[in-house]
A and B are shown apart, each in its own frame.
Chain A
Amino acid sequence: MSSRDNILQNIRHNQPSSKELPAVPSFRAKSSPDLRKLFTAALKELTGEVVTEPPPDFGKFLKKRFPNAKTFCSVVPEHAGNSKPEDFARWSDASSIDVTIVRSPLGVAETGSVLLSEEEFLVNTIGFLAHDIVILLDPADIVENIHDAYLHPHFRDKAYSLLMSGPSGSADIGGVTVHPAQGVMTLTVIFWPRTERQ
């Protein structure tokens, strides 16, 4: 008998009598909360930052925020950047990126998370081998909590989907979260409504 069949036979022999699977409520608040405010506060907890309006000159904004950055990898029409994900045939080469600019299709107010997948990244490693990341998010795309977030189709049809909730950090030394760790050093979300075509 194969290991698979042995294991399954042992499980079926041993598993306790069947218990019921509960329905999971949506746990939405009765009043309509200010999702932008909740999102901003939650992201701040994990040291992510929110810019509440699109900057009038995005190029200038990026230069000012990341004065030493040279390679801007953009996957959004709002900024041309000077590199594209397709430049990185070897996915490990994305470590040469200083700033990745990408749009998220979903924000989560409860946790300050943004959803990203291969549809947004094209090359997944641009999301964590880059030094910094800037994420555009339409405030209309913010949902209240994690229960709502998991209704998004990405979690059923994307090879890789990520709820990103702050820059990479570690609390492994002394229990207090510090940066850097292995991923991006800073994470900035800009509230930026989509254009109609997006």
Chain B
Amino acid sequence: MSVVDQAQNAVAFMEDKTHEQHLDQLLWMMRTRRDEAASRVPEWEQLRDLASQIKEHTLSNLGHYLEMFESRAEANGVTVHWAQDAHEHNQIVYHILSDRKADSLIKSKSMLTEECDTRQFLENRGIRVTETDLGERIQQLDDQPPSHIVGPSWHKTTQDVAHLFARAYGSDKDKADPVYLGHVMRENTRVLIEEGKAGMTGANFAVAETGAIVTVTNEGNADLSGNVPELRICSVGLEKVIPRNEDLAVFIRLLTRSATGNAITQYTSHFLAPRQNGEMHIILVDNGRSSRLGMEKFWPSLKCIRCAACMNTCPVYRRSGGLSYGSTYMGPIGIIMMPTFDVRRYSELPFSSTLNGSCTNVCPVKINVHEQIYAWREVMEQNGQIQLVKKEAMRAAGEVLSHPRLYRIAASSAEPDMKLLPHFVLYNHFNAWGRHRDVPQPGKETFHDWYKKNRISTAGQEIT
């Protein structure tokens, strides 16, 4: 598969200013709400430290905790399966369904099943799959993957959804009202939920000491998927296991506050055993995780609890939309995860970042996101996977920035040059920065010149 060009994909999204501004404002609102929620919890930073330590402890003893989880779940009457990759996961799901003649599946949102492309796999084999999360259903109807981990369709405006539902359900295309659209969704999917032969959920957490799967939703769709049909399947990434209920408390306090600024979601659900007269299967999925665990610089990305705070704060993500990453996981966390799946295909992603470190600062489990992005750039450079233009530009910048005199000459000559140079010289395809905005007018003097004039007497020594 070809290399994903995130910058080029972002161009298409940014050409429509409405969508760019809509997404930027919506996600900044989430980021602001996250800050307010964190400020109301005095022990917030202590919780982040604990969450990071619990995850690091679990990942460094992962074999032990997975076996503990497996034995507890089996003692609870659950059937536990193990899948090495996406294909094996999908095969297991298909066999569970086909062996029981279940031809319809109701599903709650699960990034792991997106990663495994499970919906397509099952639909190709004649199983009707209905996403029950509103955002995920919107994306399913529009034949698009999620563009955001928490809000799969947040890149769409309310008007976009009204038009989509008009096409799919015959509702009023001019009624761009979220409440009306919520009713349309409920009326059209409730019946499918009630008829579903099997239900499927992902997992936010898997508690080793009890064998419970924990899901966190606003709509209660994991509760519907997990309780309405008698057959329930839970797909769980290996890294979702945590040791104890008391650890779960730490993550529940951090997760929703980091994601949307609410203290908790409406439904925090714990599935420990099959429902009455029911059957429950848990599939523990590796799909590259055990290998990532051995990557010295990159294993901490397995600590991620999928809150998407790093996306909401990222200036690149907010303006370019999640689909531009061409990957299951997007934004800063996607940048550091996706190359572990395919280093060539995602070789350009680590450059879709300003490295401002905001992602690291908001991460509830203290993943060093921006440092990992930088480390991935080094890997791409070592692998010879950086485009020549980018490589030459960085080499030249490195040369100039490491020699102060050279830098000052370049800076002072840039000012008159930029005033005199014709438009086509400044705005051409080599200037990615200038494709969608004007290059700012240079100041009358450089900072160095200003500092030399104003501070030399007080500093007492000449600067060079």
Contacts and interface: CB of A to CB of B under 8 A. Distances in A.
Interface of A: 2-4, 6-8, 10-22, 24-25, 27, 42, 45-46, 91-92, 95, 110-113, 118, 124-125, 127-129, 145-147, 149-151, 155-156, 158-184
Contacts of B299: 14, 16
B186 A161 contact: no
Interface stretch (B131-139, B350-358, B416-424): B131-139
A172 B227 contact: no
A19 B293 contact: no
Contact of A150 (B157, B227, B246): B246
A175 B151 contact: yes
Interface string B150-171: 0111101110010000000000
The 3 closest A-B CB pairs, nearest first, are A14-B294, A183-B220, A172-B135
Contacts of A179: 179, 182
A16 B60 contact: yes
9 contacts: A11-B293, A15-B294, A16-B56, A92-B228, A125-B227, A147-B246, A168-B220, A173-B134, A174-B26
Contacts of A180: 179, 182-183, 186
A178 B182 contact: yes
Given A14-B293, A125-B227, A172-B133, A3 B83 contact: yes
A160 B158 contact: no
Interface in B251-275: 252-253, 260, 262-275
B56 A19 contact: yes
Given A124-B275, A155-B245, A174 B84 contact: no
Interface residues of B, number: 93
B267 A164 contact: yes
A17 B350 CA distance: 27
Nearest to A122: B276
A100 B186 CA distance: 19
A91 B82 contact: no
Given A15-B63, A46-B266, A172-B151, A3 B84 contact: yes
Contact of B178 (A125, A167, A176): A176
Contacts of B290: 7, 10-11, 14
A101 to B, nearest CB: 18
A127 to B, nearest CB: 7
A126 to B, nearest CB: 10
A160 B299 CA distance: 33
Contact of A161 (B135, B152, B220, B272): B272
Contacts of A20: 53, 57
Given A14-B291, A177-B218, 8 more contacts: A125-B227, A155-B210, A155-B245, A160-B271, A165-B263, A165-B268, A174-B178, A183-B219
A113 B152 contact: no
Interface stretch (B189-197, B391-399, B405-413, B428-436): B189-197
Given A18-B61, A19-B53, A160-B270, A24 B249 contact: yes
Contacts of A13: 294
B37 to A, nearest CB: 10
B206 interface: no
Interface string B287-316: 000110110000100000000000000000
Contacts of B195: 92
